[in-house]
């Protein structure tokens, strides 16, 4: 079993900005150094590197740049932001099986000042690979942006459950409120109101601008090693109580519109079942959830798929019980990707580690277990991280 075998011993990050002024490889190297410093390890201790698709920095390049020598394990996990927690899952597997002793997971990019993720890419459907063919049923119709792909699910969710744009807005307002008191957040000191959400311009109806996360420049790195070794390092370990990847039946990259139901996230259901089973925990046992929030509607869907409320009940859950710092389930105390930065989920994993250590900007009391999820609408992954 994987549970309890590996831990995150170090986290590191660059500043989060709209224009880093540095190359993506340099951002990666800076974050890796910061994570190693945080763990109290040196490049010589590292023998594994993991990142995920769309990262412009090859594992070997980051290793070269940081003075990491021989690698016995390297992996690049697929499906973009859906792989964020998958990097830790792969690293933990490598550590648990002895393939590597210390694995660095990283994400680095200039996705605001460089290649912008929110921009349409006309070439998405260009090549007859399986993904190009999949995109070819959507891209020719101008359905080319992540916001629009997600909006298609959101509209059906609204239709099925009577959800409204304000229900999405309450997620955004909460995330921005958290970011407002997190000095590392891009939107530090800049909360929003529900009215501002409602009057922000349309991106892809039913999504307003403030339903969409920002585009950021920055990097985050994590150091994964055995739980046993982690206990001897500088900080209390964030033990990997569970790690899972998940893909649903009939899964597509971001356009799984052809399955029976468009109101759920079956791939997140796969991850949820595995996480609760592997960790032996239940939704009632976590003190915080780091939910992937590139777009607000899928935060609602995740609350349902992960078992925090029933199907169609998330709007009421958010409105009446709350996902704020003092709510029934605090979600993304750092402000999430809507408020802190959009580093494809890696900054959320770092926040979970800080909450377990007790060193977060918006520190919650008595945190022993944190749930973390990765990109939604795509094949995804998740973690339960615990103290001890």
Partner 1 sequence: MTDPEMTAEELHELARGQADLGEVRGAPAPDPVNAPMIRHWQQAMGDTNPVYLATGVAPPAMAQVWTMPGPGERPDDGSPVTDVLAALDRHGCTGVVATNCEQTYHRYARLGERLTPATRFTDLAGPKRTALGVGFFATWTVTWYAEDGAPVAEMLFRVLKFRPSETGPTTPYPLRPAVNQDTRFFWDGVEQGELRIQACADCGALRHPPGPMCPVCRSVARTHTVATGRGVLYSYVVHHHPPVPGRETPFAVGVVELQEGVRIVGNVVDCPIDKLEVGMPLRVTFRRMDDRLVLPMWTPEEA
Cβ 217 vs Cβ 17: under 8 Å: yes
Interaction mask 151-170, partner 1, x per CB under 8 A: xxx-xx--x-----------
* Complex with partner 1: residue 169 or 333, whichever CB lies closer: 169
Asked about 292 being catalytic, the answer comes back as: yes
Supply the minimum distance, in Å, between the C-beta of residue 53 and partner 1: 19
Supply the minimum distance, in Å, between the C-beta of residue 252 and partner 1: 9
Question: Does 248 help bind partner 1 (rule: CB under 8 A)?
Answer: no
Supply the minimum distance, in Å, between the C-beta of residue 295 and partner 1: 12
| Burial of 168 (C-beta count, 10 Å sphere; 0-12/13-18/19+) | buried
Supply the minimum distance, in Å, between the C-beta of residue 157 and partner 1: 9
Residues from 333 through 362 that contact partner 1 (CB under 8 A): none
* Complex with partner 1: residue 204 or 323, whichever CB lies closer: 204
Q: In the beta sheet, which residues pair with residue 76?
A: 51
For 79, the token pair is 């499906």
Cα 287 to chain center, whole Å? Answer: 18
Question: Does 142 help bind partner 1 (rule: CB under 8 A)?
Answer: yes
Short-list 105, 33, 113, 35, CA closest to 74: 105
Short-list 247, 341, 244, 336, CA closest to 293: 336
Supply the minimum distance, in Å, between the C-beta of residue 200 and partner 1: 11
Question: Does 190 help bind partner 1 (rule: CB under 8 A)?
Answer: no
Question: Does 144 help bind partner 1 (rule: CB under 8 A)?
Answer: yes
> How many angstroms separate the CA atoms of 12 and 34, rounded?
4
* Complex with partner 1: residue 117 or 276, whichever CB lies closer: 117
Question: Does 370 help bind partner 1 (rule: CB under 8 A)?
Answer: no
> How many angstroms separate the CA atoms of 380 and 345, rounded?
11
Among 40, 67, 114, 132, binds partner 1 (CB under 8 A): 132
Asked about 258 being catalytic, the answer comes back as: no
Residues from 72 through 131 that contact partner 1 (CB under 8 A): 118-120, 122, 125-129
For 299, the token pair is 């935060």
DSSP state of 140: G
Cβ 8 vs Cβ 240: under 8 Å: yes
For 47, the token pair is 């023998």
DSSP state of 318: I
Question: Does 254 help bind partner 1 (rule: CB under 8 A)?
Answer: no
* Nearest 10 degrees: Cα torsion 99, 36, 27, 67: -70
For 77, the token pair is 């996990």
Q: Which of 52, 79, 106, 292 is catalytic?
A: 292
Question: Does 206 help bind partner 1 (rule: CB under 8 A)?
Answer: yes
Question: Does 210 help bind partner 1 (rule: CB under 8 A)?
Answer: no
Short-list 62, 73, 69, 78, CA closest to 95: 73
* Binding residues vs partner 1 (CB under 8 A): 118-120, 122, 125-129, 132-145, 148, 151-153, 155-156, 159, 201-207, 209, 255, 257-258, 262
Task: Tell me the catalytic residues.
Answer: 292, 342
């Amino acid at each position: 079993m994987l549970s309890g075998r590996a831990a995150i011993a170090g986290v590191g990050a660059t500043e989060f900005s709209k224009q880093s002024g540095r190359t993506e490889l340099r951002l990666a190297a800076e974050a890796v150094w910061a994570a190693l410093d945080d763990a109290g390890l040196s490049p010589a201790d590292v023998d594994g590197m993991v990142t995920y698709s769309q990262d412009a920095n090859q594992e070997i390049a980051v290793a070269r740049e940081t003075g990491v020598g021989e690698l016995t394990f390297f992996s690049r996990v697929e499906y973009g932001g859906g792989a964020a927690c998958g990097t830790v899952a792969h690293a933990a597997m490598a550590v648990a099986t002895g393939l590597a002793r210390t694995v660095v997971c990283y994400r680095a990019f200039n996705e605001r000042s460089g290649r912008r993720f929110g921009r349409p890419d006309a070439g998405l459907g260009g090549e007859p690979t399986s993904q190009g063919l999949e995109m070819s049923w959507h891209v020719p119709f101008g359905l080319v942006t992540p916001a629009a792909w997600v909006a298609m699910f959101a509209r059906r969710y609204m239709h099925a459950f009577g959800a409204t744009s304000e229900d999405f807005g309450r997620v955004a307002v909460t995330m921005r409120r958290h970011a407002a008191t997190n000095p590392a957040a891009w939107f530090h000191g800049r909360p929003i109101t529900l009215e501002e959400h409602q009057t922000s311009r349309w991106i892809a109806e039913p999504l307003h601008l403030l339903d969409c996360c920002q585009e950021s420049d920055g990097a985050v790195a994590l150091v994964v090693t055995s739980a046993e070794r982690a206990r001897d390092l500088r900080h209390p370990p964030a033990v990997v109580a569970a790690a899972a990847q998940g893909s649903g039946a009939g899964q597509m990259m971001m356009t799984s519109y052809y399955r029976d139901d468009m109101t759920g996230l079956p791939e997140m259901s796969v991850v949820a079942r595995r996480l609760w089973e592997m960790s032996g925990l239940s939704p009632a046992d976590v003190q915080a959830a780091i939910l992937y929030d590139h777009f607000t509607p899928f935060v609602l869907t995740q609350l349902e798929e992960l078992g925090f409320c029933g199907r169609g009940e998330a709007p009421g859950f958010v409105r009446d019980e709350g996902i704020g710092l003092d709510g029934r389930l605090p979600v993304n105390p750092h402000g999430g990707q809507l408020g802190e930065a959009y580093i494809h989920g890696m900054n959320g994993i770092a926040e979970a580690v800080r909450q377990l250590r007790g060193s977060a900007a918006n520190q919650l009391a008595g945190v022993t277990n944190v749930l973390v999820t990765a990109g939604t609408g795509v094949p995804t992954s998740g973690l339960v991280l615990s103290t001890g």
